[in-house]
């Protein structure tokens, strides 16, 4: 009998729930997130979706649940340590108990960007290297790092995963995190608000550029430059061989990659050669695959 796992990737915009068997997402559900409504209010909705997925695919017993969470997490104690404008009630929610009471299966929880990095490392564009940085562009910008085959977590569980909050403009826009001029404050979906009339996400921005909107083209070019600066900073910090870019915006990888590669290769100090910059091919499954991998392998 093959082992089955449930992976939940709790995003700011969407919640992805996957049924995973032998390192493959064999079934998935994607539902709108209610990050502002909180984690306590979201769990019953997630539970119903998990149960429906198990029932639809006739999985009578399964081997664990992994949760990729958008905040700082201590996976050893299974505690959420800090949030930033997403699921801000999470520190008061006992998620391990929720799992125990409803399914009584093994549980694993870690930061969402970190789990996306494990997904890319084991199943995606990071296969074949042990020195990898993953940057996921979504509602915010998540990053994570693997150095010499070790997933970076750090003393306070924040190593590698705050790359969205490195300053690219030290006197720049105020960020949600308390810092100013963060990568995320210039290159995430939330940062698009108010920059081009009526446009609130990257799909809208790409559509406007395609329709000849010059202002949208300027904002998009600015995002490319900001992402490139962020990637150079991450390369200088972590010395990767490969950088994988993730998030829904990577549907436009053909437009994004040539510009970003050229710019990063021109600016990064890497005398040994060029960092390979790739787009995710996991179609949003990186977090689900990563968190179920960690659950199974105890990484
Ligand atoms: Zn910030």
Fold topology of 128-279: Nucleotidyltransferase; domain 5 (3.30.420)
The C-alpha atoms of residue 109 and residue 65 are separated, in whole angstroms, by: 9
What are the backbone dihedrals phi and psi of residue 25, each rounded to the nearest 5 degrees, phi first? Answer: -80, 105
In angstroms, what is the span from residue 6 Cα to ligand 1's centroid? 31
Query: Identical fold at 4-114+287-297 and 128-279?
Result: yes
Beta-strand relationship, 4-10 and 65-69: parallel
Report the Cα 240 to chain-centroid distance in Å: 18
In angstroms, what is the span from residue 176 Cα to ligand 1's centroid? 6
Token pair of 162, please?
């705050």
In angstroms, what is the span from residue 205 Cα to ligand 1's centroid? 22
The model's pTM is: 0.96
* CATH architecture designation of domain 4-114+287-297: 2-Layer Sandwich (3.30)
In angstroms, what is the span from residue 86 Cα to ligand 1's centroid? 13
Q: Which residues in the chain land under pLDDT 70? A: 1
The C-alpha atoms of residue 293 and residue 299 are separated, in whole angstroms, by: 8
In angstroms, what is the span from residue 142 Cα to ligand 1's centroid? 11
- State whether residue 203 is helix, strand or coil: helix
The C-alpha atoms of residue 87 and residue 38 are separated, in whole angstroms, by: 4
In angstroms, what is the span from residue 154 Cα to ligand 1's centroid? 19
Sign of CA dihedral 117, 229, 225, 188: positive
In angstroms, what is the span from residue 182 Cα to ligand 1's centroid? 5
Contacts of 214 (CB under 8 A, 6+ apart): none
Give the full edge-to-edge strand order of the sheet including 132-137: 150-151, 141-147, 132-137, 242-246, 276-279
pLDDT of 1 reads: 62
- State whether residue 66 is helix, strand or coil: strand
pLDDT of 283 reads: 86
- List CB-based neighbours of ion ligand 1 within 5 Å: 165, 175, 177, 179, 182
- The domains of the chain are located at 4-114+287-297, 128-279
Q: Torsion-angle region of residue 58: left (phi > 0), alpha (psi -120 to 50) or beta?
A: left
In angstroms, what is the span from residue 184 Cα to ligand 1's centroid? 6
């Amino acid at each position: 009998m093959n082992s089955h796992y449930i992976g939940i990737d709790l995003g700011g915009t969407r919640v992805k729930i996957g049924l995973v068997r032998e390192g493959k997402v064999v079934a998935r559900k994607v539902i709108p997130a209610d990050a502002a409504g909180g984690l306590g209010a979201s769990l019953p909705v997630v539970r119903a979706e998990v149960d429906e997925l198990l029932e639809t695919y006739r999985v009578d017993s399964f081997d664990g649940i992994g949760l990729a969470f958008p905040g700082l997490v201590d996976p050893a104690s299974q505690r959420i340590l800090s949030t930033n404008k997403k699921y801000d009630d999470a520190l008061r929610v006992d998620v391990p108990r929720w799992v125990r009471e409803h399914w009584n299966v093994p549980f694993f929880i870690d930061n969402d960007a970190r789990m996306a990095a494990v997904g890319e490392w084991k199943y995606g564009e990071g296969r074949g290297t042990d020195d990898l940085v993953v940057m996921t562009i979504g509602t915010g910008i998540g990053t994570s790092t693997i150095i010499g085959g070790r997933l970076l977590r750090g003393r306070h569980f924040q190593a590698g995963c705050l790359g969205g909050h490195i300053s690219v403009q030290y006197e720049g826009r105020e960020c949600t995190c308390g810092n100013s001029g963060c990568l995320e404050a210039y290159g995430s979906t939330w940062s698009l608000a108010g920059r081009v009339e009526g446009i609130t996400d990257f799909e809208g921005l790409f559509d406007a550029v395609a329709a000849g909107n010059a202002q949208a083209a300027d904002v998009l070019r600015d995002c490319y430059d900001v992402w490139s600066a962020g990637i150079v900073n991450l390369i200088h910090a972590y010395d990767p061989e490969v950088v994988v870019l993730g998030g829904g915006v990577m549907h436009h990888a053909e437009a994004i990659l040539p510009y970003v590669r050229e710019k990063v290769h021109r600016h990064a100090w890497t005398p040994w050669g060029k960092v390979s910059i790739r787009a995710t091919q996991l179609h949003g499954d990186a977090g689900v695959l990563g968190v179920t991998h960690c659950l199974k392998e105890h990484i």
